[in-house]
Amino acid sequence: MPEFGFVADPRTGKPSNVPPQRSWNGAVHVVSLGEELAETHWKAGTGALAWCDCGARGRLVSLAEGPGGSGFLICDWCGWGAPNHGRSPGSHVSPLRGRPCTGPLRWRSLAHTYETDILRLRLDAPGLDTGAQWHSLLYAVLEGAADGLEISRTDIDGVVHSGADGSSGLVLFDTVPGGAGSVLRIADALDAVIATALRRVASCDCGLETSCYGCLRTRRNERHHEDLSRGAALTVLQSLHGLARCAGPPAG
């Protein structure tokens, strides 16, 4: 993890009318869920149950694995770095001294830890037996939250997370370090989020066995594109339709 940030190349290029190419290959991992999580409980007419635990200061680590997942080459001596394209250069220029350096290069991934608002969503609903089904539901819920609560999609994200008991669930989080309260709004309006997600998934024209950018796919979830299924998300969302907040914790 780069503790002191990065040093940019002092040289500037000629401006272009073409936007810079953007690529990202990595993942976000949950380190801790934070403290003093507020609990809300929901039940659908089908009998499906949902538990929301949300709060501040959840701790995450964002891992960047370089173009194509091949990582980066980092110099042990001067800290110079570049994407790993499979061939190590004989020498490079130290970013601080501006002089040639022959230090050893090591393959690395880059990581960044931060704290933010976090929401753990546990479900007792049919159609959640595999990782692909969980991921399909995850991105349906995120799109439903963005559309239904008018939250910028880039301000929220999530992962499939296994709890201490080994059972799978969803963890949603604000992408802004420190949090902006977006996932707290999701926990408070889960019924509207699920209803919007259901409408979005049900109205898409792609095949039930696949997905598209109109329902579940985004640039940041490219690694899961082949596993995302509109039909899998639809099955779970239909069982959660009509969620109502419970006055007390449901059994289980």
Report pLDDT digits (tens) over 84-143: 988 888 889 999 888 999 999 999 999 989 999 999 999 999 999 999 999 999 999 999
CA 216 vs CA 44, 231, 236: distances in Å: 23, 11, 14
Domain that holds residue 47: 37-60+116-245
Q: Are residues 85 and 192 in the same domain?
A: no
Task: State pTM to two decimals.
Answer: 0.84
How far is Cα 47 from Cα 247, in angstroms, rounded to an integer?
16
- The values of phi and psi at residue 179, to 5°, are 85, 150
Per-residue confidence (pLDDT) for residue 23, from 0 to 100: 64
How many domains are contained in the chain?
2
Q: Could you report the per-residue pLDDT of 156-200, keeping only the tens digit for each?
A: 999 999 877 778 999 999 999 999 999 999 999 999 999 999 999
List 171's β-bridge partners, or say none.
120, 159
Same domain for 229 and 124: yes
CB 52 within 8 A of CB 119: yes
Nearest to 143 by CA among 40, 38, 233, 35: 233
Is there a single domain that holds both residue 100 and residue 179?
Answer: no
Question: What DSSP element (H or E) covers 115?
Answer: strand 110-124
d(CA 176, CA 163): 24
Shared domain for 79 and 185, answered yes or no, is no
pLDDT in tens, 215-251: 999 988 988 999 999 999 999 999 999 999 997 554 4
In this structure, the answer to whether residues 48 and 77 fall within a common structural domain is no
Runs of H (alpha helix) within 71-122: none
